[in-house]
Amino acid sequence: MSVAKIALEEHVAPSGIIDRDRELFSPEAWAKMSRELVDIHGQLLADMDRHNVEMSVLSLVAPGIQHMTDPKRAAEAAQRSNDCMANQVAKNPKRFQAFAALPMNNAQASAQELVRCVKELGFKGALVDSFSSRDSAESVLYYDLPEYWDFWGTVASLDVPFYLHPREPLVSRTLFLEGHPWLRTSSWAFTLDMATHALRLMSCGVFDKYPKLKIILGHLGETLPFLMWRVDNRIKASPRGIPAKKPLNEYFKNNFWVTTSGQFCTQSLMETINWIGSDRVMFSVDYPFESFAAGATWFDGVNAISEADWTKIARTNAEKLLGLGTEKQKAATV
């Protein structure tokens, strides 16, 4: 296919942000991170050019802000990160846009920062790692909690998407993986946590209050397209006071979008389209944890869908969801 693609889950760390968290990485990982995550206008742009990717929507690499337990430090780091990201986008806005990092251990501060990022910096929404910590590294805050509902109202009123992204679950909460470290990260634990978090959001009633709220999930929906029927079937058999007014699959089909990030499997893509529809699937890579060579080569070779659906997934769904190509966006890139 010759249509240029748009990618939505591409992680970077502007210089001056990742440097402050050097201690979070091993020396070997730091060397790789500092090369691939910081060189936005060099290596990343070259990878995009090689694989016909017109635009990447950038986001702060995990663990980002969510691992910070001090709300004040988290808010300062989020603002600093977003300012740096805005500076990077300003250097080449026709090729890069950005999602905001947010200090989600303080819902009010997150709402204020998202408003600033969207209205002043021109960001296209937010990308936040699943669950935040507050005061203790062992604390876990999921975003269905009542303290976040006003925040969700802000997201809905801004009409921008919220990309819910994985982070590694706490060992203390995943004892069923004990002795199986190969399942603790992106191979399985990320997906398990993310799918559960998304189901919590669907269950709590927040989409009944804010029916226009938009959520993005990576990795072709974190297994949910394959499981929603059973989830609803078993809840129907034993609802146990669930607050949501509708079957959960209705929220999934009406309030969620998914990307191909890190899930370069045609059979999985087809099943996802069958469940959620081609209008809600978007191309992404998950750079630098996955390569543009792998993601783009796979997607460019997918011939099991129509050209119209391929083009939707490649770019037009993202254009519509993020408001790319609108008069407002054109003005921002002049």
CATH number for the domain that contains residue 63 = 3.20.20.140
Query: Residue 78: its pLDDT value, please?
Result: 94
Q: Distance (Å, rounded) from C-alpha 248 to C-alpha 324?
A: 29
Query: Residue 169: its pLDDT value, please?
Result: 86
Q: Is the separation of the CB atoms in 44 and 53 below 8 Å? A: no
Known active-site residue 286: yes
What SS3 state is found at 81?
A: helix
pLDDT level of residue 15 (50, 70, 90 thresholds): low
The string of pLDDT tens digits covering residues 193-205 is: 999 999 999 999 9
The string of pLDDT tens digits covering residues 283-314 is: 999 998 899 999 999 999 999 999 999 999 99
* Number of domains observed in the structure of the chain: 1
pLDDT level of residue 27 (50, 70, 90 thresholds): confident
Overall average pLDDT of the 129-154 stretch: 94
Query: Residue 327: its pLDDT value, please?
Result: 41
Percentage with pLDDT > 70 across the chain: 91
Overall average pLDDT of the 127-143 stretch: 93
Amino acid at 229: W
Q: Distance (Å, rounded) from C-alpha 14 to C-alpha 54?
A: 20
Query: Which carries the bigger pLDDT value, residue 40 or residue 28?
Result: 40
275: enclosing H helix or E strand: helix 266-276
Overall average pLDDT of the 255-271 stretch: 97
* Residue 238 structural domain: 5-332
Query: Which carries the bigger pLDDT value, residue 252 or residue 20?
Result: 252
Q: Is the separation of the CB atoms in 60 and 80 below 8 Å? A: no
Name the active-site residue from 47, 286, 300, 309: 286
Percentage with pLDDT > 90 across the chain: 78
Burial 66-81 (b: 16+ CB within 10 A, else e): bbbbebeebbebbbeb
pLDDT at position 333 over 50: no
The string of pLDDT tens digits covering residues 147-173 is: 999 999 999 999 999 999 998 888 888
